[in-house]
Structure 1
Amino acid sequence: MLDPGIYPNLDRADLPPGLSYSGAKDILNCPALYRWKRANPSAPSEAMETGTVTHALILDTPQCWRTIDGGRGVTERRKAARAEGLIPITTDALATAARMAVAVRDLPEAADLLDRCSSENREVAAIAQDPETGVWVRCYFDALHDGGRYGVDVKTGREGTLGDFARTAANLGYDLQAATYAAVMEWLGQPIDALLFCIVESSEPHFVGVRELDADFLARGRARLRRALDTYAACVETDTWPGPATYQTISAPPWALRAEGIPA
């Protein structure tokens, strides 16, 4: 276990143990699912790996990929790349990732955001202990402002993500993410003003935008984080990880009843 603190330029593979925001999401969803996922980690999907390459290009971090197209021996070449810790990516996919990185740099608001985060403050891990439950919590900034004012998380999204980001943020738990990151930094005595999301759409023309969650959205995230921490602590203490109900009588949703003229 690492000591509480901030660890710049830390590879995700070297992240310290602790409850992450994605783990907190799983705890809120189903503690049994959280436990199963940790015991059965899945390999990253091709889309996730392409996202990792895109992040590296945007953040100007060390090359983590090898270009491999089809042809004889492609399977073996892809395996060899992975054995060296590299992501195999096609020329076309790499070109798309490069265009997305250029789009981010071409937006002044996004470029300025990242320029205020030096290379020493890219891919920054932080870990601290929740004073109420004793649970260790970790976070991973794509970039951290040199003066510690804000953190940056780069998101890639489908066409239309920017226009519907509030719904996306609620559905994917970005409020929980912002609350988790803010809490860790506060526990370390280095509070940040905000976690800013830099979003680039994967479809051309690769629209880019910066989004910050408002006070009500953050309040929702903090409430969910507290519930996740309390639930996780209770699960660990009792070694009980509840799953979905095994038998349950359910009611029709009101909209389904109204569709048939039945009072809801």
Structure 2
Amino acid sequence: MPAPGDSPGHRAGAAASPVAGAVVVRPRSAPGLSPSRANDYLQCPLLFRFRVVDRLPEPPSAAAVRGTLVHSVLERLFDAPAGQRTVEAARALLAPSWADMLVERPECSEVVEEDEGLSGWFGGAGQLLETYFTLEDPNRLEPAERELKVSTELEDGLLLRGVVDRLDVAPDGALRVVDYKTGRSPRAGYEGSALFQMRFYALVLARLRDRVPAMLQLVYLKDGTLLRHVPTPAELATTEKRVQAIWAGIRRTAEAGSWEPRTSPLCGWCAHQAICPAFGGTPPPIPEGAVELSLGVRPGGR
């Protein structure tokens, strides 16, 4: 489940740019943390502020919108009975899934290039779906849950939340947590961020179901790679401590108002360079009360 400032689903980007002079009011949920927002803070505290506190709009990116579309198709695919979950059936779901996306988020249409057209757009998404069928046979699967919103509160009051793409439950009750990725798999030794997300989900599910998941599985559709990991109770205990440490850092930063930028190669994909001090910009003032509303923290420790 998204934390405050999370984009819908995981993946289509933030809301369309507001009309000049208009006040955009979006509902906020209780302060908490999701894997994506935790990674935002670790990547750049200022980016976290822009997304969670200021809730600044970001234009949709082609990669994020395509990811949302493919996730939607893979969720709907399991509505069909076993035996009818084919590549052709998946491709046939692209158009209705896209139409539904545009009803909710019409700005997503901006990512389709004129010279590409819808046929080219669907073609790129279709290739990712074809790769999926080389990695799993959906006709042999009966997911217990799809797009499962999960949340749990730790003893210190921190609310953890997220959305699990798919949860498989074996006859003996063993849990397999599955997440689809439409990008490439990480290079050897660089799996940390992806595994942090999966361990985060495993921690939440273990608390909810009183059972450590037996398998964490990442399905990379760009290069056809499966990344599997067997979590342990000790790992999840370490993950809980790490999440609490990240949240403590967020609270300290919020109380001090020290939302400093942290530059990295990922800055090239940031939608907020124009207002980032690292690139000569000036961040806007934080809206009155936004820090306390978003994070339950008063700047200055008041």
TM-score normalised per structure 2: 0.56
Among 177, 181, 184, the residue aligned to 1:155: 181
Distance 1:31 1:99, change over 3 A: closer
- Deviation of 1:230 after TM superposition, in Å, equals 2.4
The correspondence for 1:46, drawn from 53, 62, 86, is 62
- Match status 1:193 vs 2:214: yes
User: 1:203-234: per-residue Cα shift (whole Å, max 9, x none)?
Assistant: xxx53434327769878755542321222344
String of CA shifts for 1:24-75, please: whole Å, max 9, x gaps.
Answer: 11223443431222211423312110111122223336743049xxxxxxxx
* CA RMSD after TM alignment: 3.8
1:64 aligns to 2:80 (yes or no): no
Identity of aligned residues (%): 23
Any gaps of 5 or more consecutive residues in structure 1?
1-9, 68-80, 246-264
Query: Which residues of 2 match residues 220-231 of structure 1 at below 5 A?
Result: 224-231=242-249
What is the CA-CA distance between 1:138 and the residue it aligns to? 0.7
Find 1:176's aligned residue among 183, 196, 200. Answer: 196
Q: In structure 2, do the counterparts of structure 1 residues 11 and 54 end up closer, same or farther at CA, with 3 Å as the change threshold?
A: closer
Q: Does 1:31 align with 2:50?
A: no
Instruction: Structure 2: give runs of 5+ residues left out of the alignment.
Output: 1-7, 13-26, 78-92, 113-117, 263-302
1:104 has 2:132 as partner = yes
Post-superposition Cα deviations, 1:105-132, rounded to whole Å, max 9, x if no partner, equal 233xx336981414xx111111111213
1:109-258 counterparts in 2 under 5 A? 110-111=136-137, 115-118=141-144, 121-132=145-156, 134-146=157-169, 147=173, 149-158=175-184, 161=185, 164=187, 166-167=189-190, 169-170=191-192, 173-191=193-211, 192-201=213-222, 207-212=224-229, 224-235=242-253, 238=255, 240-243=257-260
Which residue identity does 2:243 align to in structure 1?
L
Which residue number corresponds to residue 82 of structure 1? 102
Task: Please report the TM-score for the alignment, with normalisation by the length of structure 1.
Answer: 0.63
Instruction: Indicate conservation of the 8 Å contact 1:200/1:207, yes or no.
Output: yes
Alignment partners' CA distance in 1, 2:226 and 2:139: 11
Contact map agreement 1:128 1:137 (CA 8 A) in 2: yes
Structure number having the greater strand percentage: 1
